Structure 1
Amino acid sequence: MFVITADQVDSRHSADYVEAALDRLNDAYGADLVLPAERTAGDEIQALTSSAATALGIVLELFRAERWSIGLGVGAVDRPLGSSTRASRGEAFYAARDAVEQAKSSQVRFAAAAGDHTDDILTRDAAALIALLLLMLERRTAGGWEIHDLLAAGLSQAQAAERVGVTPGAVSLRVRTAGLKLQDAAVDALVRMLESADASTEEVS
């Protein structure tokens, strides 16, 4: 199981973005969340999912917002689950707590940790590669993100070019410069790594 715990950066000197983030996450990923994402304390949010793709998607989305320190925990959760994410417990939750604290001093404000009964090496390897992906995304220009969003919405490169008002060749250049195909390949590989880490989790009695 995967737990994402995110703490808003410098919340004392900025608006509270928790509710907007929760609305977005529950709307975009709700079908793949075990329980709705929710505020756990103050300016912190937490989400629980059994899907590696959803866990990584949430990490990428929160990172792009540039407002969060993000911790990803991989491991077992106590059964039965609580009535809410906030009321649930288990190794994945404790690992996510450790990870978000580590993330606060990380260059990309992200860290991952494994529960006691989950493969720590697999999780650390995935975390290192996710950090590299985030570093690449941090350097993406607004133009690169514009094309990313249009293609993610289902438009072809030709349609994106028409929408933006540039040539198809200019869109192809943006795709290469933004590393969009590299991102897709990296996400696929990272999902497989996270799935393997999750599969290594031993049942905790």
Structure 2
Amino acid sequence: MLALHARYRGRSTHRAELVRRSAEALATLPGVGEFERLGVEDIRARVETPESLCDTVMALLSDGEWALGLGVTDAAHDAAEAATAALGRAARPGLVRARVLPDATGTAGGDIAAVFLLLGQVLAKRSLEGREATSLMRTGMNQIEAAERLGITKQAISQRLRAAGWQAENAGWQLAVNLIRAAQKATPEEG
């Protein structure tokens, strides 16, 4: 079972509306459930797959104004509660914490959080052009299609993707998926 707890830590004067709109938009991602509002700044949802969880985390990290708690649990534990416990009270923008229950090694949550810390650094250094290019690639376009959509050459899209850290993002995303999947396998379902 997987869940995400997100807390808005930005400076918007209309934070309640921003959080509401963000929850609605995120709930349209494949495999993401409806977000429960836990207050003005907090939203939480259950997520179906490691890929869906990673996509949602990446979307929030790209924004740069959210702190995140992730819950990975077996059937005996509530993933949503684990996500909230992982986040805790003190949360700064870009922070990702994960709680895996049960965690025989005691390291799974820290490993997952570490990958997202590194991915957050890649995303934070990205230019507007890099965000446009990687956004198109994330939808499944190839470089030629993305270049045509942006009205630039294939060489230009390739340069934008390289500068944006596209390969590092893909490698980090896959590592995060693998770590979450391994944590799920280590938390046996009750039958």
The TM-score with structure 1 as length reference comes to 0.80
Aligned-partner Cα distance in 2 for 1:10–1:146: 22
Q: Alpha carbons of 1:155 and 1:55: their partners in 2 closer, same or farther (altered >3 Å)?
A: closer
Alpha-carbon separation, structure 1, partners of 2:48 and 2:85: 19
* Alignment partners' CA distance in 2, 1:157 and 1:124: 34
Residue 102 of structure 1 contacts residue 111 of structure 1 at CA under 8 Å; is this kept in 2? no
1:169 Cα offset (Å): 1.3
Structure 2 residue matching 1:45: 3-state secondary structure: strand
Partner of 2:44: 46
Q: Which amino acid aligns with 2:2?
A: F
| Structure 1 residues not aligned, in runs of 5+ | 79-89
Q: In the alignment, which of 98, 121, 131 is matched to residue 85 of structure 2? A: 98
Identity of matched residues, %: 26
Distance change >3 Å, CA 103–CA 134, structure 1 → 2: farther
- Shift of the alpha carbon at 1:53? 0.9
Mean CA deviation greater in 94-103 or 37-46: 94-103
Q: Secondary structure at the match of 1:140?
A: coil
- The number of aligned residues is 189
Identify the range of structure 1 (125-134 vs 151-160) with the bigger mean alpha-carbon deviation. Answer: 151-160
TM-score by length of 2: 0.85
CA RMSD of aligned residues (A): 2.4
Unaligned runs of 5+ in 2: none
| Residues 87-139 of structure 1: CA deviation (Å, up to 9, x unaligned) | xxx4423321222226614x732211222x23431221121112111111111
Would you say the 8 A contact 1:114–1:123 is kept in 2?
yes
